[in-house]
Structure 1
Amino acid sequence: MNIRKALASDAQAIFDLRNRSIRCLCKGFYQDDLLFRWTEEVGPSSEFVEFVSHLMYVAESSDRVIGCGAVSLLDGKVDAVFVDPDHAGNGIGRKVMQLLEEIAVEGGSTKTLHLEATLNATPFYAKLGFSVDSASLYISPRGFSLECIKMSKNLHNR
């Protein structure tokens, strides 16, 4: 497995990975109709392609994207961490998160990482040293909301 900076040309593969991950790994934590609405778009928007090319990193194996994640050095926000369901539990998410944390530390502009975890991912982030800050509600611009957990990690304790 290799982790590298994402390219705009990776956007479709990342978008497809995101949808597979949500549909499989969030099942049982959210209602099926919410999972459908969350993943009903057929392709990446131009905003998503820009996000991918600026902030995303991908884990790949045999030239296939099997994991991804992003971190903003401006505010320490970790976002869009997804793992292919066929590879879940194999340490890919942990390796992506380790890289994002290293990038944040080396960037030096943030002292704390923060994220909004899906209900199924909260234990994963807790194992990586993130603390629960509060329950929250993600409000989608498409008119639905999802329960999530705001979490943070102090980088000084690293």
Structure 2
Amino acid sequence: MIVRETKKEDLARVADLHARSIRLLCQDHYTPAQIRAWTDVLNPVVYESALTAKYCIVACDGNTILGMGMLSLEDGEIHAVYVDPDQSGRGVGSLILSHLEETARQHDVMELTVFATLNARGFYEGKGYNAIRPALHSLPNGLQLECIEMRKRLDSAGTDAEFCRRITVPGA
């Protein structure tokens, strides 16, 4: 498995993975109507604008995208860590999050914020994020979803640097 920056030709597969992840992994925390409204706004165009505004990565096994992540280096906000539902619990999300954290360190971003879905709270807490408060995430279609604002202060040592170097393909 490797982590690399997202390419334009990945966007349709990223949109599909993101929607499948929401449909299957969030179903115990959000209503079917919320999930439908949430996934209806996901399409390659949404991700194309993110490619220029955010640091976007995918975790791959060969040509298969197993997960995706997005980070804003301007404000230190993690906008997404989603995995293929078939890969849930296999370390893909942890790998993506470690890579995003190391990239933040390399850009002198020493605190990260994430507005975590309700089902992802335990994942982020297990990675050292602290719940700050309940929040609402606004979708482009006006729907607001309950989430949890979480933060983590990064150490400057970059403890995951060697780990990230081993899994990243240079120049990919």
Match of 2:136 in 1: 137
Verify the 8 A CA contact 2:4 2:59 in the aligned structure 1. yes
1:13 alignment partner AA: R
> 5+ residue gaps in structure 1?
none
Answering whether residue 64 of structure 2 is matched by residue 67 of structure 1, we say no
Q: Give the TM-score normalised by structure 1.
A: 0.93
Deviations 1:29-63 (A, max 9, x none): 00011101111247322x42131355210001131
Answering whether residue 89 of structure 2 is matched by residue 89 of structure 1, we say yes
- 1: distance between equivalents of 2:29 and 2:57? 26
> 5+ residue gaps in structure 2?
158-172
Tell me the secondary structure at the aligned position of residue 57 of structure 2: strand
Verify the 8 A CA contact 1:11 1:52 in the aligned structure 2. no
Q: Give the TM-score normalised by structure 2.
A: 0.85
Answering whether residue 113 of structure 2 is matched by residue 104 of structure 1, we say no
Verify the 8 A CA contact 1:10 1:52 in the aligned structure 2. no
Displacement of 1:91 after TM fit? 0.4
Match of 1:31 in 2: 31
Match of 2:9 in 1: 9
Count of residues paired in the alignment: 156
- Residue correspondence of structure 1 range 38-49 to structure 2 within 5 A: 38-41=38-41, 43-45=43-45, 47-49=46-48
* Range with bigger deviation, 14-23 or 133-142: 133-142
Give the ranges of 4+ consecutive aligned residues of structure 1 lying more than 3 Å apart after TM superposition: none
Give the fraction of aligned pairs with identical amino acids, expressed as a percent. 35
Verify the 8 A CA contact 2:67 2:93 in the aligned structure 1. yes
Verify the 8 A CA contact 1:71 1:100 in the aligned structure 2. yes
Tell me the secondary structure at the aligned position of residue 118 of structure 2: coil
Verify the 8 A CA contact 2:116 2:148 in the aligned structure 1. yes
How large is the Cα RMSD of the aligned pairs? Answer: 1.5
Match of 2:113 in 1: 114
Tell me the secondary structure at the aligned position of residue 119 of structure 2: coil
